[in-house]
Amino acid sequence: MSAMLEVKDLEVAYGKILAVKKISFSVEQGQVVSLIGTNGAGKTTTLKTISGLLRPTGGEIWFQGERIDHVAAHDIVTRGLAHSPEGRRIFPRLSVEENLMLGAFSRRDPGGVRSDLQAAYDLFPILGERRKQPAGTFSGGEQQMLAMGRAMMCRPKLLMLDEPSMGLSPIMMKRIMTTVSELQRQGTTILLVEQNAQAALKRADYGYVLEVGKVVLSGSGRDLLVNDSVRKAYLGED
Amino acid sequence: MTHVKTPVDEASESPVAKPGKPIAWPMGIAGVALLIVGSFLSWSYDGQILNDLSINFYPGGLQILAIIGAVLALVLLLAEKGPLTKLGSWLDATLGIRALGAGLALYMVLVVVAIGTESDGLINVNPGAYISLVGALLLAVSGWLLPLRQLRDMSAARLPAWSEILMIAVLMAAVLFAAAYALGLQDAWSFILCLVFIAVVATALFRTGSMSFVGHVGQRHSKVLTLSAFVVAFLFPFTQNGSDANMSIANQVLIFGATAMGLNIVVGLAGLLDLGYIAFLGAGSYTAAVLSTSAFATVGWKPPFLVVMLVGAGVSATLGLIIGTPTLRVSGDYLAIVTLGFGEIFRFSMGNLDGNNGPNLTNGPNGIPGIPDLSIGGFNFGDEHMVAGIELGRFSNYYFLLLILIGFVILVFSRLNNSRIGRGWVAIREDEKAAEAMGVNVFGLKLLAFAVGAFLAGLAGTIKAHQDAAVSPDQYQFIESAFLLAAIVLGGMGTIAGVLLGATILKLLPEKLRFFSEYRLLMFGLLLVLMMRFRPEGLVASRRRQLEFHEEDEELAVAVEEERLIVEEAK
């Protein structure tokens, strides 16, 4: 059985500058896989390329046995690959409910959408309480919940989260990370991009360390957590 | 937990209302009395101007307007203190009196100026006008001295359904009557004064809050409202007694309005700035012209008009796709520039396809004149008809056809707006990248907006060609596109009523006020600058737009969403 998501020798360039240099990794069904690395390591670029927002200059991306590196972004969503972008990118002037409904834009089963809306409110009760409120009035953590809820609305098989903990308080971050585990338990495969290596690796079945556009290290989350060079570079220990 | 403000909270939070001066109320009554007395007296020595305001105890039109204003002020004063206080607990009468007093004073000043300029100097102003002016000033002053009142929430006000529906009907009848009356005024000053009066009354009603009640009533009976609006529009030709002048203007307004409505899809819903939109109207017009039986038509095929409509709209939509496919990948300013260029290319092409430079298709700068009247199913649009003893001429025939067209355009607009596609457009307008990540086919939806907009404009164009009986390139200049855009911005982007209102204002004023048309660019520039400063969301704001310009207003935000839920429940 091949992996759910398979990235082979991916290359992405902004003009002449190579941001991602031949990276390869894979995500198995049901796993939480995390990509960690510092600013500029190419994590966000990789996610954007997988979801079709950017075009690769080389390499291949396979999702559920089909090649998707030149499929349009909206088609990729329809195939069950959701992307919760960096900086959350919620629609600040739209209400919570409208935001969530836009997450389900690719679906055409109103009944299922309605029950998933309820599921999102169950997962994050605060969203249900404020379903009429414009999302821009929310705190960072609440916006992150909304962004995750919104991404879940397309019933993804694979959910890509780009720095969900960015700018959050430790409590809120813990909450978000618990939700990641919860979603995994419910059967969603997750590709998690994080700068907060400790939090990400603790939950990850497998991890890849990116440095200036290359995978420099990979292993199970537990192994990476105790790896000396990871500890030095990302966990702030000497 | 969120804290949502309720009306009860608000009342307890707001400071206790300042007590008014005791003299204010009698002063207001005196003002009303003076206004009425003055209006029954002669205003002008000269009986030839402003439809004769010179006879004592026989008020002319402008004097009757002043009396109507005074009676309205009296009702508000009595709502303040007196037999109508029950009404006053709902209405914010003080704000209404202020607006009405100041507005009527302005109106009277303008009357005096009008008399002074139309005849020779202020010597021709009779005491009646000054008495009314003093009355209006007294009313304004009393308004400032009256106490501000606490309001009960208008949205909670309910009347029995039949009386609410009756109210809509009466309002619509008033609109029809006012439109017919204002359009019937021949001289410019009377027309301006009448408009000022209507604006004053409308402002005063808004200030009392009664318009928000009307708004809620309209929402509760939206079908009745739409239907009665169409009935009123349908009845309009019957008020014109076969006069072609106003009907021709009305047709211009309808064509302009339908086109603006199509552009509203592109600009108001999808948020794409199109500066060459008039070219799509032109494409429809030219298609209808070359397929017509005019002696100058260059194509031999003469299909029935319904086919022509579809072909014209199709040509227009195809042009939309051709121009959209390469350009919709660029955004914002670039798109504006490309569409601007496209509009000019269209105009020059129409002017040059005359047989000297390329094939003879459009007869060059001379255009195609002599386009015959439409004939659909044996009904010739050039014929006059008598209906219920009222003569309906050629323009009235086209008017009814255009009314059907604009109804169709509105239907398309509102169906799209409330659909999944509409939601996608909102997402694109708000954040294109995020929309893409949500699975919105950004390029496809933009292209669709472009094509639908072009299709509707093309449809309007086919009728326009026959209505005008001629097409020529210079009808489709850039300035026309700019005016379409101005109508949308002025009226309120993304709304139906607003855009129709904006289109009416922008088309009607220059037609009716000939002397004004030389300065119209100056005036509209000024108007738009003032709008951007004081009411950026347009005359009729969609609630969401309002939120865009007043983001800090959380209460408004909640209100917006509640309204949406009500609408959805109603479906």
Residues of chain A found within 8 Å of residue B554, distances taken between Cβ atoms: 133-134, 137
Q: What is the mean pLDDT of chain A?
A: 88
Q: Is B290 a residue whose pLDDT tops 60?
A: yes
For B548, the closest chain A residue by CA position comes to A93
A182 inside domain: yes
What SS3 class is residue A217? strand
B315 contacts: CB under 8 Å, gap ≥ 6: B283, B284, B287, B458
CB pairs under 8 A between A and B: 90
The pLDDT assigned to B10 comes to: 40
A83 inside domain: yes
Q: B501 is written with which tokens?
A: 């209102």
Residues of chain A found within 8 Å of residue B564, distances taken between Cβ atoms: 95
Question: What span, in angstroms and rounded, lies between the C-alpha atoms of B564 and A13?
Answer: 44
A33 inside domain: yes
A122 inside domain: no
For B60, list phi and psi in degrees, rounded to 5: -85, 180
CA A205 to chain centre: 15
Amino acid occupying residue A107: R
Please state the rounded mean pLDDT for residues B110-118. Answer: 85
A96 inside domain: no
Handedness of CA B159, B162, B165, B171 (dihedral sign): negative
Question: What span, in angstroms and rounded, lies between the C-alpha atoms of B39 and B137?
Answer: 14
Q: How far is A2 from chain B (nearest CA, A)?
A: 26
Which range of residues forms the domain containing residue A28?
5-89+158-234
Q: Is B322 a residue whose pLDDT tops 50?
A: yes
Question: What span, in angstroms and rounded, lies between the C-alpha atoms of A227 and B75?
Answer: 84
A25: CATH:
3.40.50.300
Please state the rounded mean pLDDT for residues B310-337. Answer: 87
Q: Is B5 a residue whose pLDDT tops 60?
A: no
Q: Is B11 a residue whose pLDDT tops 60?
A: no
In 3D, which of A205, A172, A177, A200 has the Cα closest to residue A189?
A205
Q: What is the ipTM of this complex?
A: 0.86
For the B243-537 domain, the top CATH level (class) is mainly alpha
The pLDDT assigned to B13 comes to: 39
Please state the rounded mean pLDDT for residues B364-393. Answer: 80
Question: What span, in angstroms and rounded, lies between the C-alpha atoms of A179 and B483?
Answer: 53
| Domain count of the fold of chain A | 1
Q: B5 is written with which tokens?
A: 């403000």
Please state the rounded mean pLDDT for residues B517-527. Answer: 79
**What is the tens place of the pLDDT at every residue in B216-247?**
787 778 788 888 888 888 888 888 776 788 88
Residues of chain B found within 8 Å of residue A72, distances taken between Cβ atoms: 441
In 3D, which of B282, B276, B99 has the Cα closest to residue B197?
B99
Q: How far is B438 from chain A (nearest CA, A)?
A: 5
**Is B285 within 8 Å of B474 (Cβ atoms)?**
no
Of B2, B436, B562, which is closest to A130 when you measure between CB atoms? B2
A117 inside domain: no
Determine whether the interchain pair A103/B437 forms a contact, defined as Cβ–Cβ distance below 8 Å.
no
**Which of B279-293, B327-341, B419-433, B462-476 shows the lowest per-residue confidence on average (mean pLDDT)?**
B327-341
Separation of first and last alpha carbons in chain B: 30
Answer whether A149 touches B (CB < 8 Å).
no
**What is the tens place of the pLDDT at every residue in B293-308?**
877 777 778 788 899 9
In chain B, domain spans:
7-161+186-214, 243-537, 541-571
Please state the rounded mean pLDDT for residues B50-61. Answer: 80
CB atoms within 10 A of CB B383: 12
Please state the rounded mean pLDDT for residues B33-51. Answer: 83
Determine whether the interchain pair A105/B440 forms a contact, defined as Cβ–Cβ distance below 8 Å.
yes
In 3D, which of B447, B433, B442 has the Cα closest to residue B327?
B447
A106 inside domain: no
At the topology level of CATH, where does B7-161+186-214 sit? de novo design (two linked rop proteins) (1.20.1440)
The pLDDT assigned to A32 comes to: 93
Integer-rounded Cα radius of gyration of chain B: 26
**What is the tens place of the pLDDT at every residue in A1-46?**
478 999 999 999 988 888 899 999 999 999 999 998 888 888 899 9
When scoring A45, A75, A105, A137 by the number of chain B Cβ atoms within 10 A, the one with the most, hence best to mutate, is: A105
Residue bearing the bigger pLDDT, A169 or B332: A169
Q: Is B262 a residue whose pLDDT tops 90?
A: yes
**Is B435 within 8 Å of B321 (Cβ atoms)?**
no
Answer whether A95 touches B (CB < 8 Å).
yes
Please state the rounded mean pLDDT for residues B139-166. Answer: 77
Handedness of CA A17, A21, A27, A32 (dihedral sign): negative
Question: Judged by CB atoms within 8 Å, which residues 4-63 of A form the interface with B?
Answer: 51, 53
Integer-rounded Cα radius of gyration of chain A: 17
Number of Cα atoms under 13 Å in the Cβ half of residue A37? 26
Amino acid occupying residue B555: E
Q: Identify residues of B whose CB sits under 8 angstroms from chain A CBs.
A: 1-2, 420, 423-424, 426-427, 430-431, 433-442, 444, 544, 547-548, 551, 554, 557-558, 560-562, 564-565
Determine whether the interchain pair A132/B561 forms a contact, defined as Cβ–Cβ distance below 8 Å.
yes
